[in-house]
């Protein structure tokens, strides 16, 4: 097999994994929103905008993401990367699709809401790990965080915390859903991604290696029983 064919296959496989990661992450976001016991800081902001000005939560996610991409591009003096743009567009679209589904309803009891919240946080953590492992570029908010870190010289965690506090405050002013789930998310999402990211990276590496082996007959494992009707014992 020619090297160019394998590279092309790996390219599209990475983009597929990236998209699946965004699907999983958006599903986690939708679960947290439907649980109605508090959302992630950025989603508190988006929901607050939705409650005050209409449109949809996903649409506000796209609008804010577009604004952030523009600001980041101006600071970097460079065109936005495709991964950041697709992240902005697809996550907002997927959130609205999930929230539109009739089966996405809020549980009647508190225990059900908490379970839904926890599942949402875990799902979001693995979605983040998967899309990062695909190595197709950071999302708009992560891109802004990295640029601000480079420009200010401050540590990443300090910049990220500052961003979260600002958007959470704005969301609270807009009457977004700040609750115990918001605190739980802030305390757990970092460790969850820290645990999920190595797993997702190993998974992506295996998928890419397997895809390359399937296309290159010279790298496939030799099976004991082939279709020539001759087994190892017969030999």
Show pLDDT as tens, one digit a residue, over the chain (235 residues). Answer: 455 545 677 878 888 888 999 999 999 999 999 999 989 899 999 999 999 998 999 999 999 999 998 888 888 787 877 878 888 899 999 999 999 999 999 999 999 999 999 999 999 889 988 888 887 877 788 788 878 888 887 776 778 788 888 999 999 999 999 999 998 888 888 788 888 888 888 888 888 777 555 544 444 443 434 434 444 444 4
The whole-angstrom separation of Cα 168 and Cα 28 is 19
Instruction: State the pLDDT at residue 224.
Output: 37
> What is the pTM assigned to this prediction?
0.79
- Name the one residue in this structure whose structure tokens are 């115990």: 180
Cα-flanking dihedrals φ and ψ of residue 228, to 5°? -95, 5
- Is residue 205 a contact partner of residue 13, using CB atoms and an 8 Å limit? no
pLDDT of residue 219: 45
| Tokens matching residue 51 | 């409650």
Q: Cα-flanking dihedrals φ and ψ of residue 105, to 5°?
A: -115, 155
What burial class does residue 149 get, using C-beta atoms within 10 Å of its C-beta: 0-12 exposed, 13-18 middle, 19+ buried? Answer: middle
Q: What are phi and psi of 142, to 5 degrees?
A: -70, -35
Write down the pLDDT at residue 128: 86
Helices (H), the chain: 3-35, 41-53, 57-76, 82-100, 110-133, 140-152, 156-173, 180-215
pLDDT value, residue 164: 85
Nearest to 184 by CA among 124, 102, 233, 234: 124
pLDDT at 232: 44
């Amino acid at each position: 097999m020619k090297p160019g064919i394998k590279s092309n296959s790996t390219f599209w496989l990475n983009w597929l994994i990236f998209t699946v990661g965004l699907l999983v992450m958006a599903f986690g976001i939708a679960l947290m929103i439907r649980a109605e016991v508090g959302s992630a800081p950025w989603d508190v902001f988006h929901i607050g905008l939705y409650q005050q000005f209409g449109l949809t939560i996903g649409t506000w996610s796209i609008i804010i993401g577009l604004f952030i991409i523009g600001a980041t591009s101006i600071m970097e003096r460079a065109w936005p990367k495709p991964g950041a743009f697709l992240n902005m567009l697809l996550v907002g679209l997927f959130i609205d699709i999930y929230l539109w589904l009739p089966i996405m309803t809020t549980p009647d009891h508190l225990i059900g809401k908490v379970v839904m919240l926890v599942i949402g946080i875990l799902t979001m953590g693995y979605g983040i790990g998967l899309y990062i492992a695909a190595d197709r570029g950071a999302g708009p908010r992560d891109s802004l965080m990295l640029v601000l870190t480079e420009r200010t010289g401050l540590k990443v965690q300090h910049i990220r915390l500052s961003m979260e506090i600002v958007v959470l405050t704005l969301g609270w002013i807009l009457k977004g859903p700040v609750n115990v789930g918001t605190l739980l998310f802030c305390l757990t999402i970092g460790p969850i991604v820290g645990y999920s990211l190595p797993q997702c990276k190993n998974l992506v590496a295996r998928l890419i290696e397997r895809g390359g082996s399937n296309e290159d007959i010279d790298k496939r494992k030799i099976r004991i029983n082939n279709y020539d009707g001759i087994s190892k014992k017969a030999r």
